[in-house]
A and B are shown apart, each in its own frame.
Chain A
Amino acid sequence: MKKWKYALFLCGLVVYFTFSESSSAFAMHIMEGFLPVGWVIFWWLAFLPFLIIGMRSLIRITREHPELKLLIALSGAFTFVLSALKIPSVTGSSSHPTGVGLGAVLFGPWTMVVMGSIVLLFQALLLAHGGLTTLGANAMSMAVAGPLVAYGIYRFGKKWNISRRWTIFFAAFFSDLATYVVTSLQLALAFPDATGGIFASFVKFAGIFAITQIPLAITEGLLTVVVWNFLSTYSSRELTQLERGV
């Protein structure tokens, strides 16, 4: 390797560590315009069936109980505000929880598919975080993969009578992890490595995002357990109401 290559590589690392360490960890959304047109269309098409199923379940629910519209909008606002909230993280820096795991457990996965997409739309249109062209890809990772994984683990834990705390922890932890793995996969598919192909590219993206996303997932897991404990102690009436409602 030539000297200038080393220098460039070092500069890259320096820039990367300065920015990733000092800033707080956000849930990763692929930014506007990042994906090529082909992948934009692909992820939008892949996302549409989930959105349609979610919408149908939402329309059915709200037709029976119109007041639930409010609750669902509230859950969206809750998720959005959570993602803007600074929470002390396990690594000492701060992180922003995604709230997707908690939402999926509280409100059900299909509601969260729609609400997750709406939250992403809000993040794009109110904060320019994420984007319209990449909404399909981001929704596949945050609004589809995340809630489905969280809800699957929650149901599994409930069925096999595993300790509620561990179930909630893993539901939130793996929903964050699923979001981050899917995002890395989407980036790897769009930008395969020149020598190593898609797999090498996936390793690179996953490795880079792991620095912020794994502490984020652990924090989110712990946080969700604490919130759940509070909820089951002080708000058990609301919880049963939610379970009957949605």
Chain B
Amino acid sequence: MIRQLDTVAYDNRLRTIRPEQKMIFAILLLIMAMIGSWKMQVMITIWLAVWIIGYARVSWKVYAKALGVVALFLIMSLPALLVSLDKSFHVSIDRSQIFTVMSLLSRSAAAWSCLFFLLVTTPFPEMLHVLKRMKVPSIIIELLFFTYRFVFVFEKAAEELYVAMKARNGGNHWRHGGMLVFQLFQKIWHSYEALRLALWARGVSDEMVYVHVGTYNEKSKRYLWEAAIGISLLLWLG
């Protein structure tokens, strides 16, 4: 899942738009989704689905699958929100709670859409570049950058270990999980030692991260216009 979404972030039609613009767009919509009315939230969800599936050409299967995963949390909390309980453990469903749940559904869907739009259109290093321009402390940028690099290396390692374990008919007992985690830790420690030695040999003592800046299409203002007009329309209608 994680590699799939990361691949999409590098390979979509909105990649050539400046990351600053996409981040501002997503965060503006997120704020509007959080404080706006339900009408505005529904419109944001639909409009962003058009952006994600229509303009960025993200496969609708990816979109639906990701939505399904997060909807699990929503579905799990629905009974707790709908059914109320009093001191003598009488179970009832309050009509007003249904309204709360509906507004919660529309808000969550809209806010999640904003996050997902950012996630599938902007590669993580480009977000880091924006954070750097926003003067976020370099230690945070460095940590985020290294973590991003390592996550994929170890995810692959973990997957290989898992397949190896399954191929030997393992993985039916929690003890096997312990072995897996330990082997992963060992792998991680080896890469740490190797990198530490490599950096030490090169005498590194300062900042070690170079954030790549991509090439962007500055000519076409079509999406900028749609974003501006859409947001004003949302403010006017919502």
Contacts and interface: CB of A to CB of B under 8 A. Distances in A.
Interface string B70-97: 1011111111111111110001111011
Contacts of B66: 127-128
**Chain A interface bracket (under 10, 10 to 19, 20 to 34, 35 or more):** 35 or more
Nearest to B100: A191
A200 B88 CA distance: 11
Nearest to B35: A37
Contacts of A196: 84-87
Interface of A: 1, 5, 8-9, 12-13, 15-16, 19-20, 23, 28-34, 37, 40, 55, 58-59, 62, 66-67, 69-74, 76-78, 80-82, 84-90, 97, 102, 114-115, 118-119, 121-122, 124-129, 131-133, 187, 191, 193-196, 200-201, 203-205, 207-209, 219, 222-223, 225-227, 229-231, 234-235, 238
Interface string B156-175: 00100010000000011111
Contact of A71 (B119, B154, B171, B192): B192
A134 to B, nearest CB: 9
Contact of B73 (A13, A31, A203, A207): A31
16 contacts: A32-B108, A33-B110, A66-B204, A69-B142, A70-B199, A71-B196, A85-B162, A88-B174, A89-B174, A90-B174, A119-B147, A122-B148, A126-B5, A127-B5, A196-B84, A223-B177
Contact of B178 (A20, A34, A114, A227): A227
B77 A219 contact: no
B85 A31 contact: no
**Chain B interface bracket (under 10, 10 to 19, 20 to 34, 35 or more):** 35 or more
A175 B92 CA distance: 34
A12 B83 CA distance: 10
Given A16-B76, A78-B154, A73 B108 contact: no
B108 A33 contact: yes
A86 B161 CA distance: 12
A197 to B, nearest CB: 9
A219 B75 contact: no
A85 B181 contact: yes
B111 A32 contact: yes
Classify the interface of chain A: helix, strand, loop or mixed: helix
A129 B65 CA distance: 12
Which of A15, A32, A62: most chain B Cβ within 10 A?
A32
Contacts of A118: 143-144, 147
B139 A62 contact: yes
A11 to B, nearest CB: 10
A124 B35 contact: no
A9 B83 contact: yes
A70 B147 contact: no
A124 to B, nearest CB: 6
B2 interface: yes
Contact of A70 (B146, B162, B175): B146
B20 to A, nearest CB: 16
A81 to B, nearest CB: 4
A73 B84 CA distance: 44
A69 B146 contact: yes
B155 to A, nearest CB: 5
Given A9-B83, A31-B74, A122 B151 contact: yes
